[in-house]
A and B are shown apart, each in its own frame.
Chain A
Amino acid sequence: MKFLLFLMLTLASVYASLNVQTTYTSLGEIAKKVGGDKVSVNVLANPHYDPHFIVPKPSLISKLRRADVLIINGAGLELGWLPPLLKGAHNGKIRPGAKGFIDVSNAIKLQNIPATVSRAFGDVHSQGNPHYMLDPYSVIPAARLIASKLSAVDESNAEYYHENLDKFLKNWKIYLKGLDTKMRGCKEKNVVQYHELFNYFLNRYQYKSYGNIEPLPGVSPSSKHTLALINTIQSKKVNMILQDVYHNQKTAKFIAQKAGVKFLILPHDVGAVDKTDSLEKFYTVISNKICQ
């Protein structure tokens, strides 16, 4: 009996690759780099949609049901859609706190941590701004955490994961060097955003964000706030408005026209706009658009 079980376990480990589910595409890309051919990676959220509000389709439950590992962004970004899916999946392997549950925000020093938290201030995340993957440097701690967690779940391939990690990080640091050099040449650095979505990228390259189109996080634009923002744009000499792909663009376009500034649509994740199907291309597209 014990022998049979052992045989089944070894067979399973030989033939089946690790089933890795990630909530968002950038995390999926990192998991593919680190996991190589020992893992099969699936991304739950469509990058065209608002990462805060993904429709919890039952098909996502069946994906989680068979997962060995679940990699999430954390810091509250999945709060509005992932918990009911996890509850329905009946999978102890990826329960929060289990070996196969990876919250990448644990490896990141989060920014914009609010001093006081109340929903009177809109949809503020108590742990800090969750959009840390906009910083290309976040890829490094994220990849390290994923490598060590994959190794813990799948000990027999630990060495393989760490080799992949080293290879990937070496290339990534070279890419970052190139990106840094390019970003050093940017002149126009005053921006306004729809939502505090690009803060990590902006802070990394010393951009200044002077306000948001939404009056409070998660609250739709109001005319009073929009008029005040136009004044700010003019007095602070803002150069561009940064918009995501999923919010209504009407207000941003109106402001851009009134204030005579550029209007840019930036990807918030890998695959959110055309030609961003890899991590490199994702950050390159942002830098190309923002640094002119």
Chain B
Amino acid sequence: MKKILILSAFCSSILLASSEVEDLKMQLLQQSEMIKALTQRLDKLEEEKSPYSENIASSGFDTSMMQGTQTANASFSQNAYLPDIALIINSSAVGRNIDNVDYSAYSTPGFIDTDPNKEIPFNPDRGFNLNYAEVAMYSAVDPYFDAFAIFHMRAADFEIDEAYVSTRDLPYGLKVKAGKFKSAFGRYNEKHQHAWEFSEQPIVYSGFFGPEGLSDPGVQLQWVAPTDTYLMLGVEAMQGTNEQSFAYAKTNNLYNTYVKSSVDVTEDTSVLAGISYIHGKNLEGNTDIYAADLTVQTQLDSYRSLAWQSEYMYRNREQNIKTARQDGMYTQLVYDINQNYSMGARYDILMKNNLGDKNLDMYTAMVEYKPFEFSRLRLEYSLDKSKYYGGEQKDVQQLMLELNIAVGAHGAHSY
């Protein structure tokens, strides 16, 4: 019985297979005929095409004929849902009066401790640096959420710089963000390195928050007021892993509040001002940071503009022995000369830095050439007086040529 069953199954499978081959042959024949018909049609269309045929609408093809060949691929195609993807590459050539072994062992008394294995993510080496390749992705998730992520890659490192979900459609001008993101307080913090006006971070940021700025998992709520004057209010609750100001290991501890407002003084001149309050815990007590920023931008024509931007921060950090009270600021001026060239200068200073009266400061100047919107060459010189080596302050002079490109679906930058 069993044998008969197997035999009959075998026979029928052969039969079925041969009929399948027949089917396939038929399909092939049909398809080759279809292709023939299509190429004939194409030839005919091409003959009809006049040399100035740009105005003819693209509906020249008879879609009913194409259907047979298209549906097989299109039925389950999700290509249209691919997120916007952009790639950013940043590299530099650096000349510096301190060699690479010594450079990373610097300290900034009261702010950054000596640690020879300190992470210096941008332009660490005298000579050539590939700073990073960054992949940015954006897409709507569904009618309710947008998703955004930036993957930051270095030669031996992979990092999720940001990955968050934000709401699309909350009423009353509200928006919620959740995931890992850069805090939107102040001016520099939220921007990625490639969008900074200067290649080096302001020393008040590196001193208070380190190279990454204030970036953590958390939630953010922002509200834009329904007023003629721009008024935005934001609150954030974040993990508080930042070692330089917070890092209270026991639980989440960081809360940020900020207000930003902007008015147009004239049609071409606008002022943006913000104040922020950041509260968190370090291992020995509370840390409170108060910050203020002011940006004035005036547009001279489509491609020429002048932007003056400053930020000030004050930190109160409770420690076992005494409370450290420190502050710092930077002020910068950038002039866009035309579509291709910009130049700028920045002055940074750290004050009340546990060293009595001595302030630590830094001077930076840059010239930028943009052959096109998506590529940029920047020559930057800096004289940094904030770094100490073996207890001695040492001037760090640096000349750097940085190349930055952005390809793919890279969104426009905000104000």
A residues near B, CB below 8 A? Answer: 46, 48-50, 53, 55-59, 61-62, 65-66, 79-85, 87-92, 95, 109, 111-113, 119, 122-123, 203, 218-220, 246-248
Selecting from B206-214, B391-399, B406-414, the interface stretch reads: B406-414
Interface contact A95-B303, CB-CB below 8 Å = no
Contacts of A57 in B (CB 8 A): 262, 264, 270, 297, 415
Selecting from B11-19, B54-62, B344-352, the interface stretch reads: B54-62
CB of B359 within 8 Å of the partner chain: no
B367 to chain A, nearest CB (A): 17
Interface contact A91-B173, CB-CB below 8 Å = yes
Total A-B pairs in contact (CB under 8 Å)? 109
CB of B267 within 8 Å of the partner chain: yes
CB of B99 within 8 Å of the partner chain: no
Partner of A65, one of B55, B224, B297, B339: B224
Partner of B302, one of A50, A65, A109, A112: A50
B residues near A, CB below 8 A? Answer: 54-55, 57-58, 168-171, 173-175, 222-232, 260, 262-264, 267, 270, 272, 297, 299, 301-303, 305, 338-340, 371-374, 407, 411-415
Partner of B58, one of A58, A62, A80, A113: A113
Look across to chain B and name the residue whose beta carbon is closest to the beta carbon of A114.
B54
Contacts of A62 in B (CB 8 A): 224-225, 227-231
Interface contact B174-A49, CB-CB below 8 Å = no
Interface contact A88-B414, CB-CB below 8 Å = yes
With A49-B302, A57-B415, A65-B224 as contacts: A119 and B374 at CB distance below 8 Å: yes
With A57-B262, A111-B55, A113-B58 as contacts: A84 and B227 at CB distance below 8 Å: no
Partner of A61, one of B54, B224, B263, B305: B224
A50–B339 Cα distance when bound, in Å, is 11
Look across to chain B and name the residue whose beta carbon is closest to the beta carbon of A51.
B302
Determine chain A's interface SS by DSSP, over half rule.
loop
A268–B411 Cα distance when bound, in Å, is 25
Interface contact B173-A50, CB-CB below 8 Å = no
A78–B272 Cα distance when bound, in Å, is 23
A59–B230 Cα distance when bound, in Å, is 5
With A57-B270, A58-B415 as contacts: A92 and B224 at CB distance below 8 Å: no
Interface contact A53-B303, CB-CB below 8 Å = yes
Contacts of A87 in B (CB 8 A): 414
Interface contact A55-B54, CB-CB below 8 Å = no
Closest 10 CB pairs of A and B: A58-B262, A84-B414, A50-B302, A92-B169, A58-B230, A246-B302, A62-B230, A90-B173, A49-B302, A90-B175
B223, B227, B302, most chain A CB atoms within 10 A: B302
Interface contact A92-B168, CB-CB below 8 Å = yes
B230, B297, B340, most chain A CB atoms within 10 A: B230
Look across to chain B and name the residue whose beta carbon is closest to the beta carbon of A49.
B302
Contacts of B339 in A (CB 8 A): 220
Interface contact B267-A46, CB-CB below 8 Å = yes
Interface contact B168-A65, CB-CB below 8 Å = no
Contacts of B415 in A (CB 8 A): 55-58, 84
Look across to chain B and name the residue whose beta carbon is closest to the beta carbon of A199.
B54
A61–B264 Cα distance when bound, in Å, is 12
A33–B297 Cα distance when bound, in Å, is 35
Look across to chain B and name the residue whose beta carbon is closest to the beta carbon of A129.
B54
Partner of A53, one of B223, B224, B302: B302
26 contacts between A and B (CB under 8 A): A48-B302, A55-B270, A55-B305, A55-B415, A56-B412, A56-B414, A57-B264, A57-B270, A58-B232, A58-B270, A58-B272, A59-B264, A62-B224, A62-B228, A79-B412, A84-B411, A87-B414, A88-B232, A90-B170, A90-B223, A92-B168, A111-B54, A119-B407, A203-B55, A246-B301, A246-B302
B295 to chain A, nearest CB (A): 9
A66–B174 Cα distance when bound, in Å, is 13
B140 to chain A, nearest CB (A): 9
A75–B175 Cα distance when bound, in Å, is 28
A246 to chain B, nearest CB (A): 4
Contacts of B301 in A (CB 8 A): 48-49, 246
Contacts of B173 in A (CB 8 A): 65, 89-91
Interface contact B411-A109, CB-CB below 8 Å = no
With A49-B302, A113-B58 as contacts: A218 and B224 at CB distance below 8 Å: no
Look across to chain A and name the residue whose beta carbon is closest to the beta carbon of B231.
A62
Look across to chain A and name the residue whose beta carbon is closest to the beta carbon of B375.
A119
A35–B141 Cα distance when bound, in Å, is 34
Interface contact B373-A123, CB-CB below 8 Å = yes
Look across to chain A and name the residue whose beta carbon is closest to the beta carbon of B267.
A46
Contacts of B229 in A (CB 8 A): 59, 62
Contacts of B303 in A (CB 8 A): 50, 53
A82–B412 Cα distance when bound, in Å, is 8
A81 to chain B, nearest CB (A): 6
B147 to chain A, nearest CB (A): 13
A60 to chain B, nearest CB (A): 8
Partner of A81, one of B231, B407, B412: B412
A196 to chain B, nearest CB (A): 11
Look across to chain A and name the residue whose beta carbon is closest to the beta carbon of B307.
A55
Contacts of A50 in B (CB 8 A): 302-303
